[in-house]
Amino acid sequence: MEYRRELDGLRALAVVPVILFHGGARGFTGGFVGVDIFFVISGYLITTILLSEHLSGDFSIIRFYERRARRILPALFFVLFACLPFAWFWFLPGDMHNFCLSLVAVVGFVSNFFFYSPHVSYFDTSTQIRPLLHTWSLAIEEQYYLAFPIFLMFAWRFGERRLIFILSVFAAASLIFAQLISTTHPTFDFYLLPTRAWEILVGAITATRHSTLKSGPWPDALALHWEQGLGLIGILLILASIYFLDVNTPFPGIYAIPAVAGAALVISFARSTTWTGKMLGHPLLTGIGLISYSAYLWHQPLLAFARVRYLGDPPASLMIAVALSALPLAYLTWRYVERPFRDRALISRNRVFASGMVCSLLLVCFGVTGSATHGFEQRIPESIRSASTLNFPKRDDGWCFYDVDSLRTLPIGPKGTKCYLGAAIGKKEGLLFGDSFAAQYDPFWDVIGKDRSFHINSISTNWCYPSEYQESIGPTWKRSLEQCAFNRAYVLAHLANYDFVILSGYWGEVYRLHQMSGVKCLVGSASSRSRLVVIMPSPKQFDENVGYILQKSMLFHEPFHLDTKNNSREELALLANRELENWARKYPNVIFLRRDDIFTSHGHTSDITDEGLPFSLDGIHISVYGSKMAAKSFQSSSIYQKMILQIEEQSLERGPAASSFAISGND
């Protein structure tokens, strides 16, 4: 096959935006389309080679997979082995466990299935510390090339023009499917072959078209002008996609068409005789294009490990520098790993396959062992990996959260309402009701219940914030929706059985989705049927997983500190807390507990306890430890004493008329 310098230039135009996008550089918000360009180039080159071999009668399936092995495996395995020591010394057990599983998935070229999750986007912050996340695209290609050469062997007999028609039908079906699910199943759309195949097929169609293209009736000069213009349009389409698209764009449906079409136009018309082809054939661009595969392999591990090692949010300048450091590493990998393995005179076919098998076996053994040992957890000192201060109060640990989505053995129904905190036999009966933001306060009210002999019924399940309406802030297909309906009906039917009622939920999200009216109705119902209603606040919301940062600071022997800057979640939580506090003032027997009533250190509002540890667990919820420490802070406050007095009044009447005084969060 004739070498085309402009294709290496196109590779550079694909890989640099991907690297800068992941590094967070401005102006590259759509840089992820570089992968789509790679798919088109790959489809074109592979199909061109296969068609050439079919025409010459020299096609060999073994030789095809040998070429793929020489092209893909050496650099890939080199990068994978280079990741191991960094993962060993820098990863906490949970991250190491996931890394080990991803190793096995990468070796089996199924990492796109491994990283696919219906509720975790490729662009989520939580995914950016995964060193092998980018290998999903390699898995797509290899899955495609398992079947395509065999398909071509049979489809070739129909003739070249019919082959173009068949490929076009498959490409159109794939594109239509991608568009149809782009908003309903975006992660499936992004990660899996059925919605990505059309991009590779566009490259295949371009290659097949070239094999049948005859000279047109127009003069050579006019043809050159057309090629100049169409090649330029292709480059502009790619650049526009890189600049105008972003992570909120439904992708890869119709919004991927400009980049894919642009790549096909460049391949077709940016020839060495055109100035667009000469521009793409510049030595700088072709040099980057030659090392583009290794650069792509290196950039994600470099960025992921930099994010892991840096406590907090790394500055943009640092991440861009780290991303660009993939280029010199890529040159060394291309020079000393890729090129030698592509030389058949230097390394035979048997040695390529044998070394691939050995490397695969070693990586799989490491991955399986790491998974079985929970991320080689014995590497990490017990003081760091201990979960005693970093747990969420789960049912498995003796708390009440009825997590029917994760624990599929839990039945839907009344069992979710039969869990209690505090004293076994209490002088007052209480109810704690809500979602996981209520469950996080289980230890808080358990401490108070045991101290004051209160018997507290804790009813909580996923996404089930306190409301009189059957609304949800979570996925509607989850089992928790059914359990939530049962919980809400049960609570409404039994409110009069409790001396006091505690309500807590993911208030910021409820506020964002304009679902506060159901909460307010429930507050009103509870206040008329119970002696006291307590509304718990949303705790401080952080951008990052606080417990994770604490463990990293211990691992790296660095001071622990929290970034206290506000973020969108925190802003919503503050607005929701304020609205509920104002609503509580409408009732003399409703109290909204402020954060500064319960989250304090040495008498002052704080995100960190007296012992220097965070109240927060994951940046959203508080931990068992944080909940208990918050109870300790609350017990020393004046509002606590007034609340207890209100609950413990001897009158058996309930409702606001029985109150001898009103409690206000302003007291």
- Tell me the per-residue pLDDT of 442-488, one tens digit each, with 9 for 90 and over: 999 999 999 999 999 999 999 999 999 999 998 776 789 999 999 99
pLDDT of 219 > 70? The answer is no
The rounded distance, in Å, linking the Cα atoms of 576 and 349 is 65
Give the number of other CB atoms < 10 A from CB of residue 53.
17
Task: Supply the mean pLDDT for the chain.
Answer: 91
Percent of residues, the chain, with pLDDT higher than 70: 93
pLDDT at 644: 93
Q: For the residues 169-193, what does the mean pLDDT come to?
A: 96
Domains within the chain, CATH numbers bracketed: 5-379 (no CATH), 395-658 (3.40.50)
Indicate the pairing of strand 420-422 with strand 454-460: antiparallel
At 547 the pLDDT is: 87
First and final C-alpha spacing in the chain = 82
Tell me: the pLDDT tens digits for 406-426? 888 999 999 999 999 999 988
pLDDT the model gives residue 659: 38
CA distance 667 to 663: 7
Omega before 252 cis (within 30°)?
A: yes
Q: What integer pLDDT is reported at residue 292 of this predicted model?
A: 98
Residue 431 is given by DSSP the state: E
Task: Please give the sequence-ordered ranges of beta strands (E in DSSP) within 543-643, or none if there are none.
Answer: 590-592, 600-601, 604-605
Give per-residue pLDDT as tens, 271-309: 888 888 899 999 999 999 999 999 999 999 999 999 999
Percent pLDDT > 90 in the chain is 75
Q: What is the rounded average pLDDT of the residues 540-560?
A: 88
d(CA 596, CA 611): 18
Q: What is the pLDDT of residue 543?
A: 83
At residue 403, φ and ψ (nearest 5 deg) are: -85, 80
Q: Are 141 and 149 in contact (CB under 8 A)?
A: no
Residue 660 has pLDDT above 80, yes or no: no
| 662: region left, alpha or beta (phi > 0 left; psi from -120 to 50 alpha) | beta
- 66, 164, 332 from 337: Cα distances, Å: 16, 37, 8
Confidence class for position 562, pLDDT limits 50, 70, 90: confident
How high is the pLDDT of residue 666? 41
Predicted pLDDT of residue 662: 40
3-state secondary structure of 503: strand
How much of the chain is in helix, strand and coil states, percent to nearest 5?
60, 5, 30
Cβ-proximal residues to 188 (8 Å cutoff; 6+ apart), any chain: 116, 118, 181, 195
Among left, alpha and beta (phi > 0; psi -120 to 50; other), residue 86 is alpha
Q: Which amino acid is at 492?
A: L
